[in-house]
Structure formats: C-alpha cells, structure tokens
Amino acid sequence: MELVFATHNLNKLNEVRLLLPKHINLLSLADIGCTDEIPETENTLEGNALIKANYVLTHFGYNCFADDTGLLVDALDGAPGVYSARYAGAKNNAQANIDKLLLELQHSSVRTAHFKTVIALLWQGKSHFFTGTVHGDITYEPRGTGGFGYDPVFKPDGYDKTFAELPMAVKNNISHRGNALKKLLEYLHLQAS
Ligand code: IMP
C-alpha cells in the first residue's frame, strides 16, 4: 500500500516512516515529482494542512495526508502558534526562530508550552483531521543536536532531556506528530510499528 505525505521535510518523513507498518510505502512530495513550495496562507493549522493535501490531490491526483504544526507558548499567549515557521522572519530558519523565542522569554519564569500537530487526510473523496499534542517546557538554552525546528528548546513533561537530546523513537512515542499519526493509522486500520 502506498501513502503520500505532502512534505519536503526529511525529518518529518523519517519520523513518520519509523511509525508506519513496514508494508506501507511512504512517498514524499519529491517522490511524486512535486518540487513546488506549497503556500501556507491560512491562519489555522487545520487550514494549512488541508491546503497542502488539496494541492497534491488537485495537481498530482494522489490521495494523501499533510501535517501542520505549531508551538504554543503560554507566556506568549499561544504564540508563535500557526506562525511558528516564520516566527523570526520570512524564512523557516530554526536557529533564528529559537533565538527569538528565547529572547521573548528571557524575563519569564513561566516556561510551559505545547506542540500541536494537525494532520489532514484526503481519502475516498472526504477530508479527515487528526490532532496530536505534547506538553512541556521551553528550556533556557538550546540542548542537543537531534530533531529539527524547536526541538533543542522543548523539554517534554516527564523527561529531563529536550526532543533534540532524545532518540527519534522516544520523541515519536510521545510527540504531537506521533500522537496525530497514531490516530490516522487507527482510522486506516493500520498498526503503528
Ligand atoms: P510546519 O508544520 O512544517 O509548518 O512547521 C511549523 C514550524 O514548527 C517550523 O518552524 C518547524 O520547524 C517547527 N516544527 C514542526 N514540527 C516540529 C517538531 O516536531 N519539533 C520541533 N519543531 C517543529
């Protein structure tokens, strides 16, 4: 069975691949010949995930799923949220985004935050949404070299390491994306590996 994941992000692909049963062949945007940067113009995670999935169906004819993720920081009233990718400017620059986040929080002892992922699935003519969250704290400085995006400054509840310090399998087991993906697999009657 083939599934198309509407992303160019190799980190996301690797995380999702690790959770899928071995008989699923996961195809990325590159694998289906799509090099376009799909514009994310909505102001909700649901809206942006759906834009990406619809784009693939319309232009390439595949049923597919897409995700959109936000980091919601309590002391910043939920920012950067849906604008997490471009928090520090036009480009998706992880280092600049982290620098800005730590600067905004420099006088705050309230460090709680959560990641939220929404997956949009287009399947048999209908759209379906699956949501996953993980709660934790923003650290005072980046730690670790694994993962991507805000992982070096996010320490999930119950752990003393950041997502960038934890093995991918551990992150996957508790993460926003992992939790949303498990719901998607359940819907498709597939077993997470
Ligand atoms: P998007 O879902 O690719 O639009 O991600 C929005 C922003 O959140 C980007 O800056 C990503 O790097 C970041 N992001 C998405 N997923 C994760 C994650 O699992 N860990 C850390 N940062 C993430």
3-state secondary structure the chain: CEEEECCCCHHHHHHHHHHCCCCCEEECCHHHCCCCCCCCCCCCHHHHHHHHHHHHHHHHCCCEEEEEEEEEEHHHCCCEECCHHHCCCCCCCHHHHHHHHHHHCCCCCCCEEEEEEEEEEEECCEEEEEEEEEEEEECCCCCCCCCCCCHHHEEECCCCCCCCCCCHHHHHHHCHHHHHHHHHHHHCCCCCC
Nearest CA to ligand 1 atom 16: 69
* CA 116 to centroid of ligand 1, rounded, Å: 10
> In the prediction, which pLDDT does 92 show?
85
Q: What is the pLDDT of residue 1?
A: 87
Decide: 62 in ligand 1 pocket, CB within 6 A: no
Q: What pLDDT, on a 0 to 100 scale, did the predictor assign at position 193?
A: 73
Distance from the alpha carbon of residue 18 to the mean position of ligand 1, in angstroms: 18
- Consecutive sets of 10 residues in the chain, 193 residues long: mean pLDDT of each? 94 95 94 93 97 96 96 98 94 94 98 98 95 98 98 98 97 97 93 75
The confidence score (pLDDT) of residue 186 equals: 95
What are the chain's domains?
2-192 (3.90.950.10)
Query: Which pLDDT score is estimated for 168?
Result: 96
Q: What is the pLDDT of residue 159?
A: 98
pTM beyond 0.85, yes or no: yes
> Hey, which residues are catalytic here?
68
